[in-house]
Structures are given as structure tokens and as C-alpha cells.
Amino acid sequence: MNPLQPANHSWPEAALREAGLVLRLEIADRHLIRVGHCAIFALPNHRLIARVARPDQGAERLEAEIAFARFLHRSGLPVVPPADEVAEHPIETRMGAVTFWPLVESTGRKTDWQALGGVLRRIHSLTPPDGMVSLWDPVGRVATRLESYRSRPNARAEYVQVLSGGCWWGRWMIGGSDPATLTLVHGDPTNVIMAADGLVLIDFDLCGLGPPLWDVASVAVRQRRFGLSLGDLEGFYGAYHFDAAASRGFEDLVRLRELLDCSFALEAAGDSGSVVDQELEIRIRALRDPTDRSRWTPRDQIPTAD
């Protein structure tokens, strides 16, 4: 079965249908946008986005995403807040929890990287709210994908070895961080929409407390691997007031972000020789060799990638 065309009785279709019944919300206009660690549907008639968690994912994570987005929105940051008028909390169904968000129309304009640098600097300056649950755990995300991949009959031992070593190194590196230096982080800050009023941040599944330069490293990887121009990167750095040469440990965070991006392709890997497997081989080779500067295929161009 094509993962982008789920059967009506299966995840994520069944979860969305059940949530619609609970809320008395007609979902006939639904349009599946993407399937990864969650499924994202557009409901254009209601001007909504529905995010459907997988059945084994607890609603606690979704509550944390909602709380983080709500806090940033109330702090005056340009983020998409939850659609509280529809549901203030995740709707738990037999096939996974569902959250609802406003549908923001993209103008199609190029991302304003200078604006993003300024927004991230503001986020990192905020005092974390009391009781906030942090979802920032990139190594945990990689490890989960690795375990799923390891169970496949066609899993390649050398890939498992490289990524297992990367997880070990990542945990060691993060474990040496000074907790006093951690701040609020978006976690995946290149998830933006250029709306009519400007840049808007979306997708908060890696939000929480982390090294602030993690968000900066995530943009640096866009330039190193995915075609972002050096001029755009320098504009972002300037708006953030960042000096890569003077930032200790920054390259380690870049490598950790690359490990996470490698796991996106790992999750989508299929039969040997496929386009995805070829991409995965390129990324694994780069993880093995720190001097490798090969270009990677953006995740929205990788079939079924998160």
C-alpha cells in the first residue's frame, strides 16, 4: 500500500475520522499533505490543519507541543498557535491522538532568513515557563528510527553500526553540556511558512530546552547540505548576532543535526537500489567522513520521509 494513500479503516485516516465525530467536525474535504512520524491533513473548508500522531505516541507529547506554541504566540512571536476554538487539547482516538491548527496560506515567497535569525534570537531570550515539558531529544529521535530500521530483514549492518556510534557520541556530547546554558529552542527551525504578514514558524515536535546554537546549526546544515546560499546564511547569522568562528562546540551541533537528518532518510529506506537508499548511502558516507561536503536531497523530495 502507498503510505500516502491510507485505507479508511487504518491509521491515520481512522484517527481523523474519529476525532471529527468527537468534535462534530465534517472532514470530507480532508487532504493528506505528509506522512512521517505524524500525518498532516489539510481541512480547507474549515481553514484547519490536523496533525495525527501514531497510535503508540502518547498525547503528552502533543500537549507539550501545544503548550510551547501557545506560549510563544502569547509572547508575541510569529508562530502558528493551536486552534483552541476547535480543541484546546489533543483528541485521543483508538488510532492516535489528533491536534488542530489554523491553516496558514503560503505566499510562495522565498524564506526570509534574516527574519528567522531575529525570531530565533527572541525565542532563545525568553524565560521558560514553569512546568514546561521539553521534547528536545534529537538523539532519542535517531535511536527510535534506528531500532525500527534494525528490525527490517533488509537492514544493512554497516548503517546500523554508523548510526549506533553516532547515537553514542551524541549522548556523550549532550551530556557534557552545562544545564545553565540551555534555553528555549524551536528544535527544527527551518519549518517556516512565508505568509502574507511575513515569516511564521510551524511544527513544534522537537521544541523544549536545548543548546540555543542547535537552532543555528540547523540552518547551517541547510547551507552545507541542502542548497541554502552563503549570502542567506550570512544574513541569518547577522540577524542572530552569531560568529561561527568564535562559537565553541558549534561544529559538534552541526554534526548532530546531520545525524538527525540522516535518520530521516533511514526511516524512508526501502529496497536496495531505490532512490531513497541511494540518498541514504550518500548521507552515511558523509557521517563517516567529517570532510565530506556532498549535497543532500531535501526531505520533501524523499518519498515518505519525515
232-247 average pLDDT score: 94
Helix H or strand E segment including 109? none
What amino acid occupies position 231? G
Note if the bond before 290 is cis, omega within 30 degrees: no
CA distances to 211, 227, 274 from 302, in Å = 28, 15, 11
Do 93 and 212 lie in a common domain? no
State which of 72, 102, 132 marks the end of a domain: 102
| Tens of pLDDT, residues 8-23 | 568 999 999 999 999 9
Per the prediction, the chain carries an average pLDDT of 92
Q: How many CA atoms lie within 13 A of 233 on its CB side?
A: 18
209-217 average pLDDT score: 97
| Tens of pLDDT, residues 104-138 | 999 999 999 999 999 999 999 999 999 999 999 99
140 in Cβ contact with 61 (< 8 Å): no
Q: How sure is the predictor about 244, in pLDDT bands with cuts at 50, 70 and 90? A: confident
Whether 271 has a pLDDT exceeding 70, the answer reads: no
288 domain residue, yes or no: yes
Do 153 and 242 lie in a common domain? yes
Which range among 3-7, 251-255, 256-260, 274-278 shows the weakest confidence by mean pLDDT? 3-7
132 domain residue, yes or no: yes
Residue for grid cell 549506533: 164
**Which residues are CB-neighbours of 156 under 8 A, at least 6 positions away?**
none
Do 122 and 184 lie in a common domain? yes
Do 226 and 255 lie in a common domain? yes
Sequence-ordered alpha helix ranges (H) in the chain? 13-23, 59-74, 113-125, 138-150, 157-175, 212-225, 230-240, 250-268, 275-288
Do 61 and 167 lie in a common domain? no
Do 87 and 165 lie in a common domain? no
Q: How sure is the predictor about 1, in pLDDT bands with cuts at 50, 70 and 90? A: very low
Task: Supply the pLDDT for residue 261.
Answer: 95
53 in Cβ contact with 108 (< 8 Å): no
279-301 average pLDDT score: 92
Split into its structural domains, the chain has a count of 2
State which of 102, 121, 152 marks the end of a domain: 102
Q: How sure is the predictor about 7, in pLDDT bands with cuts at 50, 70 and 90? A: very low
Sequence-ordered alpha helix ranges (H) in 84-186? 113-125, 138-150, 157-175
Helix H or strand E segment including 18? helix 13-23
The bridge status of strand 31-35 relative to strand 208-210 is unpaired
Which range among 18-22, 195-199, 228-232, 299-303 shows the weakest confidence by mean pLDDT? 299-303
118 in Cβ contact with 199 (< 8 Å): no
Beta-ladder partners of 3: none
Do 195 and 267 lie in a common domain? yes
Percent of the chain exceeding pLDDT 70 equals 94
Residue for grid cell 515518505: 304
Task: Supply the pLDDT for residue 143.
Answer: 97
167-189 average pLDDT score: 95
Return d(Cα 217, Cα 203) in angstroms, integer.
18
10 domain residue, yes or no: no
State which of 79, 102, 125 marks the end of a domain: 102
Whether 279 has a pLDDT exceeding 60, the answer reads: yes
Return d(Cα 209, Cα 141) in angstroms, integer.
15
Task: Supply the pLDDT for residue 145.
Answer: 93
8 domain residue, yes or no: no
Task: Supply the pLDDT for residue 195.
Answer: 97
Task: Supply the pLDDT for residue 272.
Answer: 54
Do 146 and 188 lie in a common domain? yes
Whether 263 has a pLDDT exceeding 90, the answer reads: yes
Domain span at residue 68 reads 23-102
Which range among 1-10, 43-52, 246-255 shows the weakest confidence by mean pLDDT? 1-10
Do 123 and 91 lie in a common domain? no
Do 196 and 119 lie in a common domain? yes
Residue for grid cell 529496497: 271
The three-class DSSP label of residue 82 is coil
CATH of the domain at 61: 3.30.200.20
CATH of the domain at 266: 3.90.1200.10
Do 242 and 136 lie in a common domain? yes
Task: Supply the pLDDT for residue 274.
Answer: 80
14 domain residue, yes or no: no
| Tens of pLDDT, residues 91-112 | 999 999 999 999 999 999 999 9
Helix axis angle, 250-268 to 157-175, nearest 10°:
150
Do 125 and 160 lie in a common domain? yes
Whether 270 has a pLDDT exceeding 70, the answer reads: no
| Tens of pLDDT, residues 36-81 | 889 999 999 999 999 999 998 888 999 999 999 999 999 999 999 9
Task: Supply the pLDDT for residue 5.
Answer: 42
Return d(Cα 194, Cα 105) in angstroms, integer.
8
Whether 269 has a pLDDT exceeding 80, the answer reads: no
